[in-house]
Structure 1
Amino acid sequence: MRPHVPVLLATLLVAHQSVAAESFDLQALITAARQEAPITIYAPSGKIVDTAAAFSQKYGVKAEGVKINGAAQLEKMTREFRAGNVRGDVVLTGDPTAALAQMMPLGMVENWTPPDLLGQIPATNRDPLVVYGDPVVWSYNNETYAKCPVDNIWALTDAKWQRKITLQDPLTKASYLDWFNQIEHHYDEQMATAYQAYYGKPFDRAQGSATEAWVKAFAKNGPLPTDSDGSASEAVGAPGQKEPFMGLISTAKYRDVAKGKLRMAICGSMQPFVGLSTPAFGLISAKTKSPNSARLLIHYLMTEEGIANQTIDGKVSGNSTIPPHAKEASGVHAVWGQVLQYQSTSAPQDFDARQRWSDIWRLNFTR
């Protein structure tokens, strides 16, 4: 069971603050790292394999990248920590809520922010360290439609869009359950404002939150749940469709737009938001035997070179000075101000609310 220790969580978030930039010596860190055992980094993207190889070549510090998704990350790192047999020295979180609600309070992982990059990393991205934001965006088929056919998410609850919206199944993608709670806690007024804009009348607060009302209505409208963003993007962007789906799609799938395989664009006019950005925290195992190598890898990930194969997929670096990748295909940076940002402060509540949102979705979902 997750310990209900918000004070402990807050303490852990600040316990590993970096030393001042003027006392940090990158070359000394590199030298120390070269004396340590090889390290392994767990990440939800298979691209981590190439990142680790490039890091090893650059610094002469052996690192291996292993693709492991969020739920498996938590299970694996928990077992390793309890056994005192750490294999994953660094983790790029696939489940940030679980990291904040379980890994950090239990002392399994530690935060470290590169001191020499503090001026480039906004305060909100430092504890825990956000390596990148991973956006999903409302998308439409721009071969069929000259512009996005929807400009308000309440329209997605109308009969016109019944069984014509797709997204990865919230019952198997915990981040969507977290986002339902995030929106209710932090952005519910925007949901109520969008309701009034669409229906021409105020949202009736007697129903509860506007977010819960939307989730229920959306589920009842029979969206197509998929097992991956790839399947959802095919439903939206496959060419030659007369009535294509709309969907909530990872910007990474816009790679196939660049290759000419799909026809998609972001619904930039969607109210109250065009997408959601879930952070990948870069955390170090508290029991790693190679702490300098782990810190050097974290430092590398916070540079343009180290994060390039993620930013090409539309992920946004936690280092604010790193520009959009020249070959990024979705154009998400143009609408970044309309993408909701994950708020770490409610992570324990988000984690505890997963069952509630799962039940709401399951009870209202109509095939």
Structure 2
Amino acid sequence: MKKNTYKWPAIGLVFSSLFVISACGSNDSNSATAQDSTWLEQADLEANETPEELYEAAKEEGKVVVYSQSSRIKDVKASFEKEYPGIQVEAFDLGTIEIVEKVTREQEAGLNTADVVFVKDGGGIVSGELLSEGMLHKYAPDDLVASLDEPFLDEPGLPFYFSTRTIFVNTEAYDESPINNWWDLTDDQWQSKIVMDDPLLSSDTLDLLTTIVQNTDEMEAAYKDKFGTDIELDGTDNAGYEFIKQLLANDPVFLSSGDDVVEAVGTPGQENPPVGITTSSKSRHIEEQGYHAEFLYDVNPKMSVAGTSYLYMANNAEHTAAAKLLIRWMAGEADGQGEGFRPYNVPGSWSTRTDVSVEGQRSSDELDLWPYDGEYLYDHTNEVRNFILENQ
């Protein structure tokens, strides 16, 4: 896999400083390698300790530090500390880009702050860089792996749930969905009436658009299904890029929060509401907020691409027993029913296990999704990002 020199807006700005940190913080690469080897041996990530055994060891450590992509980590902190008194959870709620930056800076500087990292792949950069450079490690005890669905058995970290970036519509204004094809979003009807997470700030949205580019043949077929003619490319050589170009020409409104997208789509009393593109997991707020909105399952050519969330052990983590215990807790323990998984077992999310589901939504094997291709995303995300900048 080739290594990119520039991935995300924020990361690109700090690459030079990361180089300096790396140069200053690594005086002896051989001793660093030996240190990592010793830590891996002591951490024994292949072991299958019981929660009781881990708790006894974790009490000696006293705390665990987690970098989390989700604000729901505060609920995990509360339930974990109640279940395991004597162990403090230091939780940092960060975006995917921030997590990659923070882990990279600290690891290059020899700082072992994080114990657990909870993050998506984010354009393939986590698997392409953090994992390949040995900054993160997989901890997946046998009793957690035993119930994983087959597509998730060979993953770089411990996958415990996924959501997807997809289309939301207002159910009060429309008895039937006005959208059944991604190309519908290019119609004049939706001029300035599309709200979505800013793809230059949201790695998940950029993953979706890059995956659309990857699947150009399917986008060509979907175009013909809608318009009845073959697509004519206007300055592009790919139907996915053509879709992005026409979508941007329809003047979508970029928002910084998926909550704002769902609110804009689902606020009651609208005669001509917008449609939205955001994470399906935001549907968990719809009922409590009184919104009239739902995400779409049936969109030609695919609903979307899965965005799987992973749990990792950070390299040279200082609180390994507590980290193992927290990973087990967040994954729902052996039966999947543990309190730590409850904040993530919500509408619009799907467990990676075969024995856990959310009532009232389609099962994961009923979803028509593109596969997540981290290697393709790692190699092509920057190209798609530049295309968006050029066509805004």
What is the TM-score when the length of structure 1 is the normalising length? Answer: 0.84
Partner amino acid, structure 2, of 1:171: L
Q: How does 1:262-281 map onto structure 2 within 5 Å?
A: 262-281=291-310
In the alignment, which residue of structure 2 is the partner of 1:11?
none
1:192 aligns with 2:226: no
* Aligned mates of 1:140, 1:336 — CA distance in 2: 20
Change (3 A) 1:356 1:82: same
Runs (5+) with no aligned partner, structure 2:
5-40
1:139 aligns with 2:173: no
In the alignment, which residue of structure 1 is the partner of 2:389?
362
1:119 to 146, 149, 163: 146
Deviations 1:287-306 (CA, angstroms, capped at 9, x unpaired): 10111221221112221322
* Aligned mates of 1:273, 1:168 — CA distance in 2: 19
Partner amino acid, structure 2, of 1:228: S
C-alpha root-mean-square deviation of aligned residues, in Å? 2.7
| 3-state DSSP of counterpart to 1:34 | helix
Q: How does 1:35-54 map onto structure 2 within 5 Å?
A: 35-54=60-79
Give yes or no for contact 1:314–1:332 (8 Å, CA) kept in 2.
no
Change (3 A) 1:335 1:289: closer
Give yes or no for contact 1:266–1:332 (8 Å, CA) kept in 2.
no
- Please report how far the alpha carbon of residue 215 of structure 1 lies from its aligned counterpart in structure 2 after TM superposition: 1.1
* Aligned mates of 1:17, 1:351 — CA distance in 2: 30
- Please report how far the alpha carbon of residue 59 of structure 1 lies from its aligned counterpart in structure 2 after TM superposition: 3.1
In the alignment, which residue of structure 2 is the partner of 1:151?
180
1:311 to 336, 345, 350: 345
- Please report how far the alpha carbon of residue 355 of structure 1 lies from its aligned counterpart in structure 2 after TM superposition: 2.7
- Please report how far the alpha carbon of residue 182 of structure 1 lies from its aligned counterpart in structure 2 after TM superposition: 2.5
Deviations 1:17-40 (CA, angstroms, capped at 9, x unpaired): 9648xx654433333333324111
Partner amino acid, structure 2, of 1:118: V
In the alignment, which residue of structure 1 is the partner of 2:59?
34
Deviations 1:79-105 (CA, angstroms, capped at 9, x unpaired): 221232222210111553221122112
Give yes or no for contact 1:238–1:263 (8 Å, CA) kept in 2.
yes
Give yes or no for contact 2:255–2:261 (8 Å, CA) kept in 1.
yes
- Please report how far the alpha carbon of residue 246 of structure 1 lies from its aligned counterpart in structure 2 after TM superposition: 0.6
| 3-state DSSP of counterpart to 1:131 | strand
Q: How does 1:313-328 map onto structure 2 within 5 Å?
A: 313-324=347-358, 326=359
In the alignment, which residue of structure 1 is the partner of 2:134?
107
2:114 to 88, 93, 98: 88
Partner amino acid, structure 2, of 1:33: A
Partner amino acid, structure 2, of 1:34: K
- Please report how far the alpha carbon of residue 336 of structure 1 lies from its aligned counterpart in structure 2 after TM superposition: 5.0
2:257 to 189, 206, 228: 228
Deviations 1:247-291 (CA, angstroms, capped at 9, x unpaired): 112233323421253110222332122333311111111110111
Give yes or no for contact 1:122–1:319 (8 Å, CA) kept in 2.
yes
1:65 aligns with 2:94: no
Give yes or no for contact 1:266–1:274 (8 Å, CA) kept in 2.
no
In the alignment, which residue of structure 2 is the partner of 1:75?
101
Change (3 A) 1:18 1:194: farther
Change (3 A) 1:88 1:119: same
In the alignment, which residue of structure 2 is the partner of 1:212?
241
Change (3 A) 1:148 1:69: same
- Please report how far the alpha carbon of residue 140 of structure 1 lies from its aligned counterpart in structure 2 after TM superposition: 0.6
2:287 to 237, 242, 258: 258
Give yes or no for contact 1:109–1:283 (8 Å, CA) kept in 2.
yes
Give yes or no for contact 2:165–2:208 (8 Å, CA) kept in 1.
no
Change (3 A) 1:217 1:197: same
Give yes or no for contact 1:41–1:88 (8 Å, CA) kept in 2.
yes
1:55 aligns with 2:83: no
Give yes or no for contact 1:73–1:94 (8 Å, CA) kept in 2.
no
- Please report how far the alpha carbon of residue 151 of structure 1 lies from its aligned counterpart in structure 2 after TM superposition: 1.0
Give yes or no for contact 2:205–2:278 (8 Å, CA) kept in 1.
no
* Aligned mates of 1:110, 1:335 — CA distance in 2: 28
Larger deviation, residues 46-55 vs 272-281: 272-281
* Count of paired positions: 344
1:288 aligns with 2:313: no
- Please report how far the alpha carbon of residue 337 of structure 1 lies from its aligned counterpart in structure 2 after TM superposition: 1.1
- Please report how far the alpha carbon of residue 314 of structure 1 lies from its aligned counterpart in structure 2 after TM superposition: 2.6
Partner amino acid, structure 2, of 1:314: G
Give yes or no for contact 2:282–2:348 (8 Å, CA) kept in 1.
no
Give yes or no for contact 1:37–1:289 (8 Å, CA) kept in 2.
no
